[in-house]
């Protein structure tokens, strides 16, 4: 096992690897786990920028950005507990805020150590140390990330802590951007994508949920593994009540399957591949659906809208497991 610090495009990055996998974490870039590499197959599983400018032009499209809260907030505003929250409009074409407060903030590295047969990296961010965060979300809170590399799996644990005197709503997600096919020169026809979902959110022209849910017309294919050749996706799905909460990316040409599992708090997945021809696929697990604070007419157990009381913590777990395809 190896753990080392190095310079990546002018930022301090942490590289860690065991016999199977290698990861690269950049704390100052929103604690983005920018690389996940299969050493046995010599494949970069996550989309990796070729220079600093490329990353800064579209940071959501590389690695595993942390979304707090995930996806869009209509007009960058919502109300809760007698307070109006106003987020920056960073999606001016649709007049939305998108993807939250933490993806472009510098985090602190707490530790990078080997623990027996596993490697543990931990980062942390405190809201009061960032004026830009407090200006939009005026609460004292901490988010602590723990990345555990063990054999052929990467486990990501997030802990959100309310250190404020008032309750606040919270939502978390990951804009996980995989190369798909995993081999950049591979054939998408040899790839399949599966997701355990049977309902789809109806979205308006601004990609905001209307509140309606419909059956997925290709639900059986989606559960078993669907070809995405010619199938453009920018859709939001509700996880099925039964079965594992996971997305599965299979690339027979590369001999790799990625099983991306999430705990029961992640009831929603947004799946994005632009026009299906760009060589990437983003399965994004969310604890709340897009614009959940403005969908209060719907049950909270449906939208995933959650509140942390003063002194409370919430912890989530996701896991990416790599398998060989025979």
Positions marked catalytic? 175, 284
**What region, left, alpha or beta, does residue 172 occupy, with left being phi > 0 and alpha being psi -120 to 50 degrees?**
beta
Q: How far is CA 180 from the centre of its chain?
A: 16
Q: Is 2 helix (H, G, I), strand (E, B) or coil?
A: strand
Percent of residues in the chain assigned helix, strand, coil, to nearest 5 = 10, 50, 40
DSSP annotation of 22: E
> What does the block give as tokens for 181?
């096919």
Q: Length of the chain, please?
A: 326
Of 206, 208, 234, nearest in space to 94 by CA: 206
Indicate the helix (H) or strand (E) that contains 35.
strand 32-38
> What does the block give as tokens for 105?
């903030």
Distances (CA, A) of 270 to 51, 56, 71, 159, 169: 27, 22, 9, 22, 20
> What does the block give as tokens for 85?
């929250």
């Amino acid at each position: 096992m190896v753990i080392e610090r190095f310079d990546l495009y002018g930022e301090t990055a942490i590289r860690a690897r065991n016999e199977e996998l290698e990861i690269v974490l950049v704390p100052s870039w929103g604690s983005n786990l920018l690389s996940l590499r299969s050493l046995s197959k010599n494949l970069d599983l996550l989309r990796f920028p070729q220079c600093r400018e490329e990353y800064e032009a579209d940071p959501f499209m590389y690695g595993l950005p942390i979304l707090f809260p995930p996806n869009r907030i209509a007009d960058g505003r919502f109300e809760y507990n007698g307070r109006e929250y106003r987020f920056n409009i960073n999606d001016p074409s649709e007049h939305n805020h998108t993807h939250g407060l933490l993806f472009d903030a510098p985090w602190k590295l707490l530790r990078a150590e080997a623990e027996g047969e596993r490697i543990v990296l931990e980062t942390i961010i405190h809201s009061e140390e960032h004026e830009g965060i407090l200006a939009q979300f005026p609460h004292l809170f901490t988010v602590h990330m723990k990345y555990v590399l063990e054999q052929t799996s990467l486990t990501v644990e997030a802990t959100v802590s309310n250190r404020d005197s008032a309750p606040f709503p919270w939502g978390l997600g990951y804009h996980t951007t995989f190369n798909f096919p995993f081999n950049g020169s591979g054939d998408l026809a040899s790839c399949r994508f599966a997701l355990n979902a049977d309902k789809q959110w109806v979205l308006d022209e601004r990609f905001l949920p209307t509140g309606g849910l419909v059956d997925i017309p290709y639900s059986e294919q989606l559960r078993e593994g669907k070809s995405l050749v010619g199938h453009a996706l920018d859709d939001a799905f509700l996880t099925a009540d039964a079965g594992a909460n996971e997305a599965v990316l299979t690339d027979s040409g590369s001999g790799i399957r990625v099983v991306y599992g999430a705990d029961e708090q992640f009831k929603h997945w947004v799946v994005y591949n632009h026009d299906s021809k760009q060589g990437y696929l983003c399965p994004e697990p969310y604890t709340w659906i897009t614009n959940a604070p403005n969908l209060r007419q719907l049950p909270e157990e449906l939208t995933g809208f959650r509140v942390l009381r003063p002194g409370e913590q919430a912890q989530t777990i996701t896991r990416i497991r790599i398998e060989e395809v025979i």
